[in-house]
Structure 1
């Protein structure tokens, strides 16, 4: 068999290969430089987000303290309204958490990992607290419903009792007494029959009692509707808030790693 001829690499080919390698390295280095230049402004924005997040958390804490001061535990109205305020203001701490946790551990100060670990654990506690608001909200809804109906009923019965008392007294009043009563008040029958005036007043009292009943039913309907609208809104809001805080806790497990 003929020996295989081994050809030495041509110097020109070697130079071309080295040139291609240099061009490839320069091209990749240029791409990397552009990428770094693009990322740097993003890192600066993330740092700003984090600063805003910490500030919003402090503001949210101050708002929460203001909500609970002064406390009025066992007062269904205060508890129900407090629940509503906590749900209505939940957007601020949620956005703050998003800002604070952005970028994970990239470019963090030395003190931040411990704060992030604390905040991550805190989100689970807050999620549980929002879940506990739901049964409390349902119980307070029932308590307020019964209280409102009792107040409306008591007010209606009081005014109805006054109208019945006036009707009874008027029924026992003679035409002469009616004439004297009107004159004492500076009025005059103007030739009208006292009995007709008496019947007219009795008729007006009957209409007033019917209006009281209609007003009571309207108030009951309006108060009940507003109460249940707020109850549904705030209980669903508490459930959604709990789910969002739980999601943040779940997605920030990297922040709960052992901090040296």
Structure 2
């Protein structure tokens, strides 16, 4: 086996490896989960090295010393590079749309949680206002992290007002923490999305260059057929 033939065998092996890898990634995707879809787009964008190397090995310049069979095979690989370029370009909107869907889902979850927290706080304040004695108030708020000094207030109504304000402060703090966690998650989602989108664009450019370079082999294939 010549070194040229060996490189072509390795090229086809890398293309086959890339195809198997892509199938494995697609099979393992939960298509009803936006996070899983986003990760799939990212993995496909990141795992393009094997097919790129395979195409490079198949399309290495070798003068005009191709047999007609080899030229026809390389003509088909040029079409494959165009298909891969289109596929890589399609990953960009797929990744960005998945990120937008994740953001909307997170926003809905946090909004629902905030509304639920507000309802619980209002319900707790309503129950607090129903208490008549200081002892009842203390027993009701005992599980909460309240400063003991707040109970030095002798007037029950003022005490309930102070505790209600504390309820609102605790609720606002919980909401701020939830929004901070959401912001961190979205920052991570968009960072990955931009990174994977750029990778997909680079892959598109590389496959497009390979397709442009390999059109020469298509012309050679036509010449080879014309000589028969």
Pairing 1:5-154 to 2, within 5 Å after superposition = 44=3, 46-69=4-27, 73=31, 76-104=34-62, 112-154=70-112
Count of matched residue positions in the alignment of Structure 1 and Structure 2: 210
CA contact (8 A) 1:152 1:216 kept: yes
Pairing 1:211-226 to 2, within 5 Å after superposition = 211-226=173-188
- 1:129 deviates by 2.0
1:177 to 136, 140, 153: 136
CA distance, structure 2, for counterparts of residue 121 and residue 167 of structure 1: 69
How has the CA–CA distance of structure 1 residues 251 and 179 changed in structure 2, closer, same or farther, with 3 Å as cutoff? Answer: closer
Larger Rg: 1
Q: Which has the higher contact order (CA 8 A, sep 6+)?
A: 2
Mapped pair 1:241 → 2:213: no
How has the CA–CA distance of structure 1 residues 57 and 105 changed in structure 2, closer, same or farther, with 3 Å as cutoff? Answer: farther
Which ranges in structure 2 are unaligned for 5 or more consecutive residues?
143-147
How high is the TM-score relative to the length of structure 1?
0.66
CA RMSD of aligned residues (A): 3.4
- 1:59 deviates by 1.2
CA distance, structure 1, for counterparts of residue 112 and residue 69 of structure 2: 61
1:163 to 105, 113, 121: 121
Per the alignment, residue 217 of structure 2 pairs with 255
